[in-house]
Amino acid sequence: MPAEDPSRRDGTAGGSTLVSEARESIAARPYAEGEPILEVRGLVKHYPLTRGILFKKQIGAVKAVDGVDFDLAAGETLGIVGESGCGKSTVAKMLVHLEPPTGGVIRYKGEDVTKLSGRALKAVRRNIQMVFQDPYTSLNPRMTVGDIIGEPYEIHPEVAPKGSRRQKVQDLLDVVGLNPEYINRYPHQFSGGQRQRIGIARGLALNPEIIVADEPVSALDVSVQAQVVNLLDRLQGEFSLSFVFIAHDLSIVRHISDRVGVMYLGRIVEIGTDEEIYDHPTHPYTQALLSAVPVPDPTAREYRERIILHGDVPSPAAVPSGCRFRTRCWKAQERCELEVPLLAVPAVFRDTDTPARHDSACHFAEEKRVVPPEGTLETPEPQDAPKPPRAAPSPDAGPSPDTPSPDRREPGEEDR
Ligand SMILES: Nc1ncnc2c1ncn2[C@@H]1O[C@H](COP(=O)(O)OP(=O)(O)OP(=O)(O)O)[C@@H](O)[C@H]1O
What the chain holds in terms of domains, given with CATH numbers, is 35-50+60-257 (3.40.50.300), 282-360 (no CATH)
pLDDT tens digits for 178-230? Answer: 999 999 999 999 999 999 999 999 999 999 999 999 999 888 888 899 999 99
Cα–Cα distance, 344 to 357 (Å, whole number): 9
- Residue of the nearest CA to atom 26 in ligand 1? 84
For the chain, the average pLDDT equals: 82
Better pLDDT: 329 or 294? 329
Strand, helix or coil at 60?
Answer: strand
ipTM value > 0.90: yes
Most ligand 1 atoms within 8 A of CB, residue of 81, 88, 245 to mutate: 88
- The residue length of the chain stands at 416
- Ligand 1 pocket, CB under 6 A: 47, 62, 64, 82, 84-90, 248, 316
The alpha carbon of 101 and the centre of ligand 1 are apart by a number of angstroms equal to 14
The CB density around residue 392, as the number of other CB atoms within 10 Å, is 9
pLDDT tens digits for 254-306? Answer: 889 999 999 999 999 999 999 999 999 999 999 999 998 877 777 777 777 78
The alpha carbon of 8 and the centre of ligand 1 are apart by a number of angstroms equal to 38
The alpha carbon of 140 and the centre of ligand 1 are apart by a number of angstroms equal to 23
The alpha carbon of 90 and the centre of ligand 1 are apart by a number of angstroms equal to 6
Strand, helix or coil at 122?
Answer: helix
Nearest ligand 1 atom to the CA of 87 is: 18
- Residue of the nearest CA to atom 18 in ligand 1? 87
Q: Could you give the C-alpha distances from 171 to 28, 127, 138, 176, 181, in angstroms and in order?
A: 16, 19, 21, 9, 10
